[in-house]
Amino acid sequence: MDIDPERFDDPNRLAAFIDALRWGAITSADDGTVQAPFRSGANVEPYQLTPLKRALASPRANLLLADDVGLGKTIEAGLVIQELLLRHRARTVLVVCPAGLAFKWQDEMQEKFGLDFTVVNSETMKDVRRSHGVHANPFTLFPRIIVSMAWLPGQRAQRLLRAAFADTTQRFAFDILVVDEAHHVAPSSPVRTNKVGQERRGYAVDSQRTRAVREIAERSEHRLFLSATPHNGYTESFTALLEMIDPQRFVRGNKIDPVALDEVAVRRLKSDLKEAKGFVERKVSQLPYTPTAGESAAYDRLLAFTQRRDKAVATDDGSRSARDMATLLLKKRFFSSPVAFARTIDVYRDTRTRGLDLEFDLDYDEIFGPDSDDLEEGKVDQPELEALREAKSSLPPLTEEDVADLDWLSEWGHRFDGRPDSRLEALLSYVEGTLRSHGDWSNERLVIFTEYVDTLRWVRDILRQQGYEDDRVEIIDGGTEAETRELIRARFNENPAKTSVRILLATDAAGEGIDLQNHCHRLINFDIPFNPNRLEQRIGRVDRYGQTRAPDIRHFAPVTGGESALSKDVDLLARVAVKIDQIMRDLGSANEIIAPDLQRQFGGEVLKSRRAQAEKDPIAGMMGGEKVLNAELARLEQNLAESRERLHLRPENLQRVVETAFELNHLPPLELVGSEDTDVPVFRLPNLDNSWEQVTRGLYTRLDEKKTKPRPISFDPQVLKEDPEVVYMHLGSPLLQRSTRRLRSALWGGDRALERVTATVVPGLEESYAVAVTRLVLVGRAGLRLHEEVFLAGTRLARRQAVGEHRAEELLESALDRADLVGVAPAFAAQIAAAWNTERDDGLRARVQQAIGDRAARRRRDVEAHLVDRRETDRARVHEIFDRFRQTLRGALREAEVMDGDPQLTLFEDERRQSERDLREIRRRIDALDEERDRELTAVDTRYDDIRTWEFPAAVIFALAPHDVENGLAIR
């Protein structure tokens, strides 16, 4: 192709096109250079790259992301999703999460990664049918979707999933499955209690949720399960969860391959990263109060009642260890609030005295059972409540003395309707002294957690009586709609100068997945859950990455010297809260250590403590976290910096690409507006036409429902740390995606305004060069893109000698990354064009073409050799995994057969069916193992078969040395 000396491109403008070309070149062959961190609006920390590195090193990304609460598991999952999409290893993504987190996931993926996800539920199904017809199936219609755990097992969802499975001819229906708060899909804890609360070891039984997620997992190629608390203390439940994540490494039962667990699980604790990443030490302290004489008397009367009931149950059953499970529930409610206690007393009394089993079932189901959210008041994590429902009228009848106590206790509790008890009085004093001064609100904020909705509403009503305006107090409980929950979260996280909310009242429905650390570091536990994992989830709302102040965590404790039973038991709970905090920091999990102790203390041997040695290896090692070395973090940080340099991701380059795209589409330029909180350049987008309107989506917050106030933007990642009101424009943002696509389209589409040739003077250059920018693509079977890169090859102008590869790369950096590139005089352009247009075998054009061919051949050989090595590595990995798994299966089979043949092991019918299914599945897996391994090997070979190569020259750059410009340019 001849070049016209009068049509040389402006070097700054052509540099933008080359940047866009380079950023679109993604390789699957090179695991060292990643792009996902640069296509993220998150402030990515080096430790968050570990899951990404591990995912890229494996043929299939199956990971348990079990980092401590608040370390950014959603960001880690987003990085893996983004990178697999970029590398063409995935196209479809399905996220399964608790209902309250669906819109949070949607917002995070859009704001942090520029990825659009569709939330699918009963409401959105109506919209889908209106827009796409009554037979539309969202599981095949949308490439990236989010569904809730509650909706997934339902008939409609299952019918749509079965149709989606039937419609695909591929082995997998989904490329990536993400399960957030994955402990909710593990089988229920294998503990059963009889009618009077005696425990016996049971067999973990799949729930509908477990079966629904397992079926999807089996049809998904890559699986990312997220949970800071994946282990509930029972190996059987944990291995069932691991089997869903990677069925070629784990099998349900008591056997865990420690090597496989190390490969699949990623867990770091905040304590291990505190020094390296500046996590602020939390402070757990007491909020003192003095129980009144009336409260102590009521608790004494409750204790007398529960002791009589436990004695009656034990006598009736003939066992000293038997207990009325209601006694534990009543104590738990007493420790929450008088009104919660009174309501439970009423339900219990009516159930026991009037035979109102149906009414009691309704109350139980609504609060604890199948009709409630699993996040609300702990059905999953409080097995004694299940036993309470099963016991009912089978217990000994109440005596007259029992009924009299219940009547008295009910009347006592209801006296607090509309008035505070001693703890709430202490809370009000704390609020007045911390959040308010002489009736005026400060900018401090506070989160108050309780287990029970009754308590939450009582606290809210008392706050209103104190004159606290509704806009100062927000509420999140299990019944809060997902979109409303996100609006509340946004208001609470907004700058206190902009929103009036100061107090957030929440049940444990807000304890998972919601971030509240932006402008809040204070949290009060109004009651102490018996499940330590729940307590840590609560604290993790403010003690998480991004918190700049020491988290101030408070719980109630009686003033020293209280001798009443109430003071002693509340003091015990206060000390347990401190103990839980320390254990969670040291070991990462306190559930199996603390929970049985609490249940024994308040319920009288309700659950026996499990033997610790059965749980220590290798699960305890995993839960204790990986020891993160500063040197390792430094290496990851260095790798990230090198990747940024290699991709030329300077803020000026990003800005240049956007400005060039605007110019091509005749749009107004960016407006420099600046910011008081940062020195980096901050811009406002101009008014855009309809074709560009979608790039503004991430500029509006949920609070700006009418979309009237787009936030300003910046191309410098430093803004993430300095001004949260400015939106960082990363490669994955809609603006950069649209701009780079526009420039690549113009580059390859023969845009008349682009000649793809430029010449510029490069300060400091000793010789002048001609360098061609070339795109190299390697494609495997079925068009799978294995490798793509942009390289440079060229020749010296004054000598017939090619430019070395490293020298050519340096030329691009020095010639195109400058912000003040200038073109050359017309005389030099004419001289260059004449030399280029000469049809000689050793002419300038021929030498550049030869350099392109030589460099392409070398790169092709290098990449193909690397792909061969990668294939052999992947094959060896498959053999290693299956050899180890064969041993795991054999061990599991021996255990299952022993259990199946044990005549003394009494299982409920559902347990027996589950164990028989599991035994059949283990035998089937063993019989099919060789076939399964061969299928995996074939999949590996197919990925690297039939490799074809293409080269696409994109542009030519003439880089002139100042010496040649001054003394005359020599071209041979």
User: Which pLDDT score, from 0 to 100, does residue 372 have?
Assistant: 37
Amino acid letter for position 103: F
Please give the angle made by the CA atoms of 918, 923 and 925, to the nearest 5 degrees: 90
Give me the sign of the Cα torsion angle 12, 14, 16, 19: negative
Note whether 126 and 401 are within 8 A (CB). no
DSSP, collapsed to helix, strand or coil, labels residue 953 as strand
User: Which pLDDT score, from 0 to 100, does residue 560 have?
Assistant: 66
Judged by average pLDDT, the poorest of 272-286, 483-497, 947-961 is: 272-286
Closest CA to 543 of 904, 271, 165, 891: 271
Which pLDDT band, with edges at 50, 70 and 90, does 439 fall under? confident
* Residue 118 dihedral angles phi and psi, to the nearest 5°: -105, 125
Q: Please state whether beta strands 283-289 and 552-558 pair in parallel, antiparallel, or not at all (unpaired).
A: parallel
Note whether 104 and 155 are within 8 A (CB). no
User: Which pLDDT score, from 0 to 100, does residue 355 have?
Assistant: 57
Closest CA to 207 of 148, 153, 147, 151: 153
Q: pTM of the prediction?
A: 0.85
Alpha-carbon distance 400 to 349, whole Å? 12
Alpha-carbon distance 223 to 216, whole Å? 10
Q: What is the DSSP letter of 182?
A: G
Tokens standing for residue 103: 């819109």
Q: What is the DSSP letter of 151?
A: T
Closest CA to 189 of 329, 396, 379: 379
Helices vs. strands in the chain: H and E counts, helices first: 34, 25
Given a cut of 60, whether residue 36 has pLDDT beyond it is yes
User: Which pLDDT score, from 0 to 100, does residue 746 have?
Assistant: 92
Alpha-carbon distance 602 to 655, whole Å? 63
Sole residue written with tokens 């070149």? 25
Judged by average pLDDT, the poorest of 3-17, 380-394, 712-726 is: 380-394
Tokens standing for residue 519: 């402008």
- pLDDT tens readout for residues 670-710: 999 999 999 999 999 999 988 898 899 889 888 887 888 89
- Better-predicted residue by pLDDT, 420 or 439: 420
Sole residue written with tokens 């070979």? 941
- pLDDT tens readout for residues 254-293: 788 889 999 999 998 887 786 656 678 889 888 999 999 9
Instruction: Quote the mean pLDDT of the chain.
Output: 84
**In which element (H, E) is residue 795 found?**
strand 785-796
Alpha-carbon distance 694 to 577, whole Å? 48
Closest CA to 89 of 118, 122, 63, 56: 56
- Better-predicted residue by pLDDT, 683 or 529: 683
- pLDDT tens readout for residues 335-355: 899 999 999 888 888 877 765
User: Which pLDDT score, from 0 to 100, does residue 849 have?
Assistant: 92
DSSP, collapsed to helix, strand or coil, labels residue 655 as helix
Note whether 16 and 743 are within 8 A (CB). yes
Tokens standing for residue 311: 């004695």
Q: Which residues contact 135 (CB under 8 A, 6 or more apart)?
A: none
Closest CA to 772 of 958, 951, 647: 958
DSSP, collapsed to helix, strand or coil, labels residue 224 as strand
DSSP, collapsed to helix, strand or coil, labels residue 276 as helix
- pLDDT tens readout for residues 48-90: 999 999 999 888 899 999 998 888 999 999 999 999 999 888 9
Given a cut of 60, whether residue 453 has pLDDT beyond it is yes
Amino acid letter for position 596: P
Alpha-carbon distance 385 to 389, whole Å? 7
Tokens standing for residue 938: 């074939």
Burial of 175 from C-beta contacts in 10 A (0-12 / 13-18 / 19+)? buried
User: Which pLDDT score, from 0 to 100, does residue 542 have?
Assistant: 93
Tokens standing for residue 945: 């078969």
User: Which pLDDT score, from 0 to 100, does residue 320 have?
Assistant: 45
Sole residue written with tokens 């909310």? 501
User: Which pLDDT score, from 0 to 100, does residue 368 have?
Assistant: 36
Which pLDDT band, with edges at 50, 70 and 90, does 792 fall under? confident
Judged by average pLDDT, the poorest of 40-44, 847-851, 908-912 is: 908-912
Tokens standing for residue 551: 């988290």
Given a cut of 60, whether residue 194 has pLDDT beyond it is no
Percent of the chain with pLDDT over 70: 85
Note whether 873 and 59 are within 8 A (CB). no
